[in-house]
Amino acid sequence: MKALILSGGKGTRLRPLTYSGAKQLVPVANKPILWYGIEGIVAAGITDIGIIISPETGEEVKSLTGNGDRFGAKITYILQEQPAGLAHAVKIARPFLGDAPFIMYLGDNLIQRPLNPFLEKFKAEQLDALILLRPVSNPSAFGVAKVDEKGKVLELVEKPKDPPSNLALVGIYFFSPQIHEAIDNIQPSARGELEITDAIQRLIDWETSVESCTLEGWWLDTGKKDDLLEANRIILDTQLVAQNHAEVDDKSQIIGRVQIGAGTKVINSSIRGPVIIGENCYLENCFIGPYSSIADHVKLIEADLEHSVVLHSAQIIGIHQRLVDSVIGRRAQLTVAPRRPKALRFMIGDDSQIELP
């Protein structure tokens, strides 16, 4: 059994953050989103992993993620020159996949449940495809499935105007090698892409074994800012372990589950968990409220924030209004002039510099 993780795409819904980096590398609780998927796959016993990368961000993904040793896996990187669809990604990965069954995992997805029960069903029933589904309120924005009472998939439609159900494809699929023949027998869709839904529909038309499971627990597609913040909140709520390796003065207060990395200094500040703060940060005269993630080498002076994500080497200095629901990009600098507004909300890209009036 192999795995194929998709980490290409342009990440347009997370711009400006993704103008200079892959959306799958944006951190949730100070860990790249992509890594959660890798860890989940390895936990299911699959260690031979191919990662689809794009020309724009592929080198960054390779540099940060490495050869797989840190995960107990072997990672092979596969370049997709153009974002020509999920089925196209499978097509170009065929030399890596060979005749092995595989799981396909969209790299910007986060799920609560382990993959093992789905993998066991796929193997035990010798399926050609197993798809994960979740009821949603806006099915027209997703690939949608129509299934019978036993979970057999009857029809798949990509972003339908008139959805046959409210069951959206989660973005995690299990396939037998039969999917390759199905992909060879489809044509690009109206948007010019080879759709994985069309390939699975071809398997259905051939009356092969295509089944579904409804995913329980939370599922997050982190392609937008609010989804990213929600993922950060949930991970901090459910997985954060309190650890403090920082230098904290006696005027500071740390309350609740807070994790702080080595080399960080905390001076005259209050931190109320759940919060994670990386290594070699500097915090002075700050309040850091719940559901905040602060990456390595961040400098915060006279800052007041909560429910926010601050990326590597950013600086926030002299902001006396509370920052909430914000994502601050790598190396961004946020300072304030003498006259200040009453409320602030930001999504700031890498290398930005902002001085508020």
pLDDT surpasses 60 at 351: yes
49 or 164, which is more confident?
49
- What is the structure's pLDDT at 341? 55
For the residues 313-324, what does the mean pLDDT come to?
Answer: 92
Same-domain check for residues 174 and 253: no
Residue 31 vs residues 123, 204, 240, 330: alpha-carbon distances, Å = 31, 38, 12, 14
Same-domain check for residues 191 and 280: no
Kindly state whether residue 231 falls inside one of the protein's structural domains: no
218 or 304, which is more confident?
304
Same-domain check for residues 40 and 179: yes
For the residues 216-232, what does the mean pLDDT come to?
Answer: 84
pLDDT surpasses 60 at 305: yes
Question: pLDDT tens for residues 154-213?
Answer: 999 888 889 989 999 999 999 999 999 999 999 998 888 999 999 999 999 999 999 999
Q: For residues 275 and 290, is the Cβ–Cβ distance under 8 A?
A: yes
Kindly state whether residue 114 falls inside one of the protein's structural domains: yes
Same-domain check for residues 197 and 245: no
- What is the structure's pLDDT at 346? 72
Q: For residues 109 and 37, is the Cβ–Cβ distance under 8 A?
A: yes
Domain assignment of residue 276, given as a range: 240-356
Joined together, the tokens standing for residue 224 give 């937008």
Cα separation of 22 and 10, whole Å?
Answer: 7
- The total domain count for the chain is 2
Domain end, chosen from 196, 225, 254, is at 225
Question: pLDDT tens for residues 116-166?
Answer: 999 999 999 999 999 999 999 889 988 899 999 888 999 998 888 899 899
pLDDT surpasses 70 at 323: yes
Kindly state whether residue 235 falls inside one of the protein's structural domains: no
- Residues with Cβ < 8 Å from 269, sequence gap 6 or more? 252, 253, 283, 284, 285, 286, 287, 288
Mean pLDDT estimate for the chain: 90
Instruction: Give the count of beta carbons closer than 10 Å to the beta carbon of residue 55.
Output: 11
Same-domain check for residues 55 and 175: yes
Q: How confident is the model at residue 354 (pLDDT cuts 50, 70, 90)?
A: confident
Kindly report which listed range (118-122, 136-140, 249-253, 262-266) carries the lowest average pLDDT score.
Answer: 136-140
351 or 11, which is more confident?
351
- Residues with Cβ < 8 Å from 294, sequence gap 6 or more? 30, 275, 276, 277, 278, 281, 288, 300, 310
Kindly state whether residue 174 falls inside one of the protein's structural domains: yes
- Is the torsion defined by CA of 17, 18, 20, 26 positive or negative? positive
- Is the torsion defined by CA of 134, 39, 91, 8 positive or negative? positive
Specify which residues 175 forms β-bridges with. Answer: 102, 129
- What is the structure's pLDDT at 25? 87
Q: For residues 253 and 268, is the Cβ–Cβ distance under 8 A?
A: no
For the residues 201-229, what does the mean pLDDT come to?
Answer: 88
Joined together, the tokens standing for residue 252 give 């500071």
For the residues 238-254, what does the mean pLDDT come to?
Answer: 96
Q: How confident is the model at residue 319 (pLDDT cuts 50, 70, 90)?
A: confident
For the residues 286-299, what does the mean pLDDT come to?
Answer: 97
Same-domain check for residues 259 and 156: no
- What is the structure's pLDDT at 11? 46
pLDDT surpasses 90 at 80: yes
E-strand ranges in 107-191 read 109-111, 129-135, 143-147, 153-158, 167-175
- What is the structure's pLDDT at 46? 98
Same-domain check for residues 215 and 251: no
